[in-house]
Amino acid sequence: MDNNDQPTRSSRHEQDYDEQPERGSLVKRILLWILGLIVLLFIAGTALFFYYASSAPTISRNELAGQNTTTIYDDQNRVISRLGTQKREYAKDSEIPTTLKHAVVSIEDRRFYKHHGVDPIRIVGAATSNIFGRSSGMQGGSTLTQQLVKLSVFSTAASDRTFKRKAQEAWLAINVERHFSKNQILDFYINKVYMGNGVYGMKTAAQYYYGKDLDELSLSQMALLAGMPQSPSYYNPLADNTKYATQRRNEVLNAMVRSKYISQSQANQAASESITEGLDPDHGNTSNNGTGVKEKVIDAYVKQVLAVLEAKGYNPYTDGLKVHTNLDLDAQKHLYNAANNTVAFQSNKMQTGVAVTDPHNGQIVAMLGGRHTGNVIYGLNRAVQTNRSSGSTAKPLMDYGPAIEYLQWPTFKKVSDTKFVYPGTNKVLKDFDNQYKGSMTMREALVQSRNVPAIRTLQRVGIKRATDFLSGLGISQKQPYTLQNGIALYISPLQVSAAYAAFANGGTYYKPYYISSITTQDGNTKQFSPHGKRAMTKATAYMITDMLKGVFNSSEQGSATEAKLDGVYQAGKTGTTNYPSGSSQSGSMDSWMAGYTKNYSIAVWTGYDHPMQESGITDQYTKSAILLYRDLMEYLDGQNHASNWSMPSTVEAVKVSGKRQLVIKDSKWALEYSAYDDDDDDSDSSSLFSSSSSEKKSSDSSSSSSSSSTESHSSSASSASSSAPAASSASASSATTTAPTENTGNGNQ
């Protein structure tokens, strides 16, 4: 290469020198752009903050000092329950020990006396801990003043954790700090926080847990109270497991050491005390420390309302909500009185679960979780438990409904009541009378509730299509269904009521719901509307309803003739279940009555919580479910009388063997018979059957059939409602995966 083509050393240095300013200038421009962007974002954020702050609600001293009362209303805007209005002793500043204030500040807001409502250092620290995982959970940047504002004005629902809400919260916190001293703010907080077990404020908590005034508490006890508001249930010293309460108390003590309010030796001494030391079983002078539910008649309903609120992210104990429900309080009172005073039961231990829904929209009208429940608040709600067999109330849902829907069977379709052996086994299915009645119509088989025709129908339908039909009615289980489920589903009275409501309204399933609206403290209201979907054709719903009228009206074959009401157009199904084969108990384990008009759908379960420890329900008291249903339906229809159902254009009445039957128009069966002469669709269903004698007690029950089934039925119905789904799955699994034994006496009404 020619030397003239190579750059000299000096020329290379000059080239490097020329490039350095260019690179430096580029970096400088980038930094300026970034800085400018940050400034713009800051200005935009500030503008947005003040825009949101301008629409913040006002906050008064009364709101800061007052209780956060959640009020629950019935469908007529009448108050049925208040949470937070029970006895609360407001502690004056002179009554609050300095040590307690130090404990609260140490654990909730160490820089409380240094910030002005919002603490940027706390926000950055919380963000850093969250980003780098220095804490076991997400840390919040809210100051104690912001927490007070949230408790006083806003809800704690996750859906409300928006930038707008945080901006308003911060703005109000700054204003609170301008108008009130730190000591006043701390007093407001100590008197407002929820302390578990229906107790608000730390003065009341001192009485409830220790039977003492605040100034009589030990350091250990004050530390526990200071730490409880973060999670009152979790840190409850009355809980069976006090591990978490102990840990929280020790966290507070250590925080006080870090803040130099106490010495390490003082903390160690307090931490050595048992968390249960000094607890007062009589709860001091807080005799009115209940949850605010003053009438046991609405206990089960309110319990479910609270569960729904919590599932939606609200805290009903601190959010000060106005909750409007779909409860008909008058109907609820009538139901409670009927179950506890009017209708005869075998014993006070014999229980019931009742659910009433509106077929037009799925609104839950009334609910009873049990009878003679004492003073238990929010106890076991048997209306939503799914660990008991539904017996033959399953037949319209899993067998005959799908047969009409998918196979277009007419009501006169012949079904066989002959010896049946479960496929792959040697297990014979029988009815309570150990007899077979040969060939009969689908209508006769359903009204008489014969088991074998029901299972043969399910075979023809197929488990897949039956499962799809049930799913459309809001019914499902983890384990695959089997033929056994055709005469026994593990579903709750609420599920039965909602499913039968779809027959009542012409085929639309509405998911049952309790709450119509929720209004938060800042005035925002969320409305809740019906959620319906078509579950079956109008033809299916009408034909099932027409057949189920016979359960009330067939004087010789109907199993619920005791519930027949003059002038009331109703349809329904009974169900009972027997003890497993070989059991020493006699009688029935469960007795059901499910029925409906166009305006109400009612499902009633009766039985014992521990059936394997009790004698069975005698024949006389299997009718308690029927009589309770009758009493309630008579009242409801008297308040809102329902007209008869009108036959849809897709169905026609035909004469078969001289009797009125129904058939889907244009189906293969429709052309074989002449139209029925009588246009009156309200013909007495009893005229549809032969006058041959039959046992008054029909075969509605599905008996449990194996040791595993025995175990499922002996499961305690008194378990907490949160464990019910597990119990349900276990019961359903054991009942549906094992075929019945010989001599399965399925005597179900």
| Residues involved in catalysis | 108, 392
- Could you give the C-alpha distances from 411 to 103, 200, 501, 505, in angstroms and in order? 74, 61, 20, 19
DSSP conformation letters of 320-349? --EEEE---HHHHHHHHHIIIIIS--S-TT
Question: What is the distance between the alpha carbons of residues 95 and 393, in angstroms, rounded to a whole number?
Answer: 61
Question: Is 398 strand, coil or helix?
Answer: helix
List, in sequence order, every residue forming a beta bridge with 83; answer none if it has no partner. 70
Helices 329-337, 624-639: inter-axial angle, 10-degree rounding: 150
Alpha helices in 162-276 (DSSP H): 163-179, 182-192, 202-210, 219-227, 243-258, 264-271
Q: Which segments within 45-147 are labelled E, that is strand?
A: 70-73, 79-83
8 Å CB contact between 421 and 457: no
Question: What is the distance between the alpha carbons of residues 699 and 179, in angstroms, rounded to a whole number?
Answer: 75
DSSP letter at 400 equals I
Question: What is the distance between the alpha carbons of residues 170 and 600, in angstroms, rounded to a whole number?
Answer: 49
Question: What is the distance between the alpha carbons of residues 524 and 661, in angstroms, rounded to a whole number?
Answer: 54
Burial of 57 (0-12, 13-18, 19+ CB in 10 A): middle
Side-chain half-sphere CA neighbours of 500 within 13 A: 34
For the stretch 643-682, what's the b/e string if a residue is b when 16 or more beta carbons lie within 10 angstroms of its beta carbon?
eebebbeebbbbebeebbbbbbeebebbeebeebeeeebe
Question: What is the distance between the alpha carbons of residues 733 and 231, in angstroms, rounded to a whole number?
Answer: 36
List, in sequence order, every residue forming a beta bridge with 744; answer none if it has no partner. 429
8 Å CB contact between 540 and 505: no
Total Cβ atoms within 10 A of residue 401:
27
DSSP letter at 42 equals H
Question: What is the distance between the alpha carbons of residues 192 and 231, in angstroms, rounded to a whole number?
Answer: 14
